[in-house]
Amino acid sequence: MDKNSKIYLAGHQGLVGSALERHLRTRGYNNLLTRRFDELDLRRQDAVEEFFQQFQPEYVFLAAAKVGGMWANYLRPGEFIYDNILIQSNVLEAARKYAVKKLLFLGSSCIYPKFAPQPIKEENLLQGELEPSNQAYAIAKIAGIAMCQAYRAQYGCNFIAIMPNNLYGPGDNFHPENGHVLPAMINKFHQAMLTRSPQLYLWGTGTPRREFLYVDDLATACYFLMKHYDEADIINVGSGEEYSISELAAMVAAIVGYQGEIIWDSSKPDGTPRKLLDASRINALGWHSRVSLWEGLKVTYDWYLKNL
């Protein structure tokens, strides 16, 4: 991939896609192809094929997907399985047909088994039961990984699949119900601070442990893997920094300036008890995350305030 390569960034307005666009432009890659959802609906096979035929991208970062937090996955599993299977099938097939040189597919840590041994290694995929609340999404994503591997085996396509942990950063979805835990929490604490609420309720017990990765760190990992990784095996991307949800809440409260009481609603589900990725494979190749959770949270909250 060089500075003049034609690179299609699918999902460039999303959390990951916008970080990738920032990263590639900063590095001088200006031959980027982008289409908004309303210009190209990736669930439409004919439209996707036409786009690839007309523009012939050489490299593809597939960051378009139907993504959401636990509540959205619980309410709309049909959309999560339908949209994701169509988006990835259409893009991968068009990439094969129009001889894309390399494609990067985004899997996710949340598709590993609910009780995977910790830290989770790449070989733990499909070694146990999935977390029920996002099973439809997980099965779609696992199908995407299997498709990358099958297309490599049958057609020799250089399609790689990576497994990032929980991401956050500028451009996140801060919706209290549709968003992931961290941005939803920022929004909740901010609203509680504005209304001077003496108490704030959060889902679950606060005990589950999570690893968070700043999205610009993920963008550097995607770029690094696009340059240096050509294997069929999936590869984890994590920061190695792990916190309980209650520790995360305390950090968010401090950054937002909320001083009320936090009450844990244990009638609501906790999800997977622990989710830490073993990132030794990507670390051994030479990539490491750079941004601490505290620094990343401050930048994310600033972005939230400016884009409220």
Ligand X SMILES: NC(=O)c1ccc[n+]([C@@H]2O[C@H](COP(=O)([O-])OP(=O)(O)OC[C@H]3O[C@@H](n4cnc5c(N)ncnc54)[C@H](OP(=O)(O)O)[C@@H]3O)[C@@H](O)[C@H]2O)c1
Which residues contribute to the annotated binding site for NADP(+)?
Answer: 11-17, 106-109, 141, 164-167, 180
> Which residues belong to the annotated binding site for substrate?
188, 203, 210, 270
Please identify, using beta-carbon distances, which residue of 17 and 77 lies nearer to ligand X: 17
Provide the minimum distance between the beta carbon of 47 and ligand X in the complex, in angstroms, as a whole number.
Answer: 9
Handedness of CA 223, 185, 11, 32 (dihedral sign): negative
The window from 9-17, 73-81, 94-102, 246-254 that contacts ligand X (CB under 6 A) reads 9-17
3-state secondary structure 64-92: CCCCCCHHHHHHCHHHHHHHHHHHHHHHH
Q: Which residues are catalytic?
A: 137
Which contacts of 281-287 are long-range, i.e. CB under 8 A and separated by 24 or more positions? 281/122, 281/235, 281/236, 282/221, 282/224, 282/225, 282/235, 282/236, 282/237, 285/224, 285/228, 285/229, 286/224, 286/228, 287/220, 287/221, 287/224, 287/225, 287/237
Question: Among residues 94, 95, 106, 222, which is the contact residue for ligand X, using CB under 6 A?
Answer: 106
Quick check: 164 binds ligand X (CB under 6 A)?
yes
- Of these, 7, 8, 9, 17, which contacts ligand X (CB under 6 A)? 17
Residue 42 or 100 having the CB closest to ligand X: 42
Answer yes or no whether residue 42 interacts with ligand X by CB under 6 A.
Answer: yes
> Do residues 209 and 166 touch, judged by C-beta distance below 8 A?
no
Distance CA 219, CA 205 (A): 32
Contact call for residue 253 and ligand X (CB under 6 A): no
Nearer to ligand X, 141 or 190 (CB): 141
Question: In whole angstroms, how close is the CB of 195 to ligand X at the nearest point?
Answer: 27
Question: Which residues contribute to the site for ligand X (CB under 6 A)?
Answer: 11, 13-17, 37, 41-43, 63-67, 83, 87, 106, 108, 164, 166-167, 173, 180
